[in-house]
Amino acid sequence: MTLEQRITEHLSCLYGIQPARYLAPALVQMVEQTRHHLPPRPYRPLTNGDVMLITYADQVLDPEQPPLQVLGSFLQRHAASDVRAVHILPFYPWTSDDGFAVVDYRAVDPRYGSWQDIERLGSRFDLMLDLVCNHTSSQCPWFQRFLQDDPQYRDFYITVEGSPDLSRVIRPRTTPLLNEFPGVAGPRKVWTTFSADQVDLNYRNPAVLRTMLEILLEYVRHGARFIRLDAVAFLWKEIGTTCLHLPQTHRIVQLMRTILDHVTPDVRLVTETNVPHAENVSYFGDGTNEAHLVYNFALPPLVLHSFLTGQARELTRWAAQLRTPSPHTAFLNYLASHDGIGLNPVRGILQDHHIEALVRHTRAAGGFVSEKALPDGSRAPYELNINYLDALSPPEAAEPPGIVARKFATAHAIALSLPGMPALYFHSLFGSRGDRAAALATGIYRRINREKLGLSRLETELADPSSLRAQVHTALRRWLALRRSHPAFAPAAPQIVHESDPRLFVIERQDPHSGQSVLCIHNLSGDAAVYAVPGPVRGCELTWHDATTGSSIPNREVNGTLRLEPWQTWWGLPPQEPSL
């Protein structure tokens, strides 16, 4: 099937056969022009060396340099050997939601730097850029021209006439779904899924789809190797439905995948759908036609639950069935990000009283809880807004830095041991506590985990081996190095999750090429535990590594049992010399 035929098929499902035949040639021309202006970038499978860092463009500040330049030089010094990819959160001009209310998709906010700075980062790291595809800022020129009744933008946004029944609509907010804006043709009731400043685009208008595809390809030209589709689950709206995961939404993702596969097969689509696990994985499609990577949204609350209860039963049961539909797809395994810890992904995995316990713990630990509106008008907890280090070790608990670092490192060792590609938030890799004062001062709960750090202070704390920041950073770097040392940790390498002492999470990963296995034992409790070590695993005698401390023990010296101190992790690898 030709590219035009494939594009026509997608467009037919969205707009009908005749409009599709009219629209497809122009899209094909746009795609081919992009392909001819790009150097060849062949498909490269993800390996155990692929790790992503999530960061804001202005995460590190120095008054002498633009933030993107400061970030680039800082990461070159402190992360170049640890991560291969960098997700720069929206750096376009914006008006709210810390970047996710975009004014101009094609510009770099001059407060941060320039496209040259972005491309310079892209020469050192594989970049992930955000396509904020569901909505724009209310100050976006497109929306202003919509309010002026400009014919080109008259149908660019979703408006609602009268008072239709919208009770089935699912959304993660308690703010009004519709907001009225004054226009030259009279007041317009506009769909606003996330806030009054984030107005939803109308994908029923083919011009909207074409514009967003142009922007997608522009990001590829600027060097993106990953494209994150922000809030993609809400794209298509049909009154009388949930307006979530509609078939047309999946078809748009498929169209994007078709285009990227043709233009540059090494660019991967990543879908951001903070929904129950079964719905989340639907964005893999058949394993070849939708997202390459899907955020593993159930992982953060599951790991937190496991540490709070000191047992791994639910985590073990869930991980045992963790699968993707093809070796070309993978989970993006993370524990913390710029957002909070979503609760929807574990509904159906954790019992209600477990979720309620997470909510109580978050508030007691100094965090906040965001709510969503339910169709019946009630509210339910949606997201835990708390720094992940604080969630595991609340500051008021005054645990010794060594214990705090050990717990945090073990939590991340779990994420690093699972099939998929790991993603670490900047504040996690560099050992930050939460910024409760910023959340209280602004009323924006997510700001608790979005502190911007001064370069001088950050460098000073990292250089002090006794600081919590340095201890966390050193421990995580060691675990990342250990993961890089063996191909059994490749994203698509098979796994076996072992039932064991309920306090332990035990996972075996296998290198399909050599047949060698690694065995990872994580103690999630505050008690010491003993693990009965098997004989040679897949014919190999293992060496046991605790990367938090940098210690190693040959299997012959453990005498059949491996002792794990509270919150300790041991990974058993075939004998080698990993760079710790």
Tracing tokens 């994007």 back to the chain, one arrives at: 256
* Tokens coding 68: 């993107």
Catalytic residue (choose from 230, 390, 501, 511): 230
Q: β-strands 569-573, 543-546: how paired?
A: antiparallel
Whether 464 is a known active-site residue: answer: no
Query: From CA 46, how far away is CA 185, in angstroms rounded?
Result: 52
Q: How far is CA 362 from CA 348, 388, 419, in A?
A: 20, 10, 28
468-484 helix and 455-462 helix, angle to the nearest 10 degrees: 70
Distance CA 547, CA 259 (A): 42
Residue showing tokens 């940098």: 550
Task: Give yes or no for a contact between 545 and 551, defined as CB atoms under 8 angstroms apart.
Answer: yes
Q: Do the annotations mark residue 97 as ligand-binding?
A: yes
Quick check: 328 and 415 in contact, CB under 8 A? no
**Number of neighbouring beta carbons within 10 Å of residue 271:** 28
Is 503 annotated in a binding site? The answer is: no
DSSP state of 350: B
Residue 228 is assigned to a ligand binding site: yes
User: Smallest Cα–Cα separation from 14: which of 198, 162, 163, 208?
Assistant: 208
Q: Are 198 and 158 in contact (CB under 8 A)?
A: no
Question: 338: annotated binding-site residue?
Answer: yes
d(CA 301, CA 320): 17
Answer yes or no: are the C-beta atoms of 232 and 6 closer than 8 Å. no
Distances (CA, A) of 93 to 98, 101, 103, 228: 10, 9, 5, 18
269 among annotated binding-site residues: no
381 forms bridges with which residues in the sheet? 371
Determine the Cα–Cα distance for residues 383 and 510; give it in Å rounded to an integer. 35
Binding residue numbers for substrate: 97, 135, 228-230, 338-339, 446
List, by residue number, the catalytic residues: 230
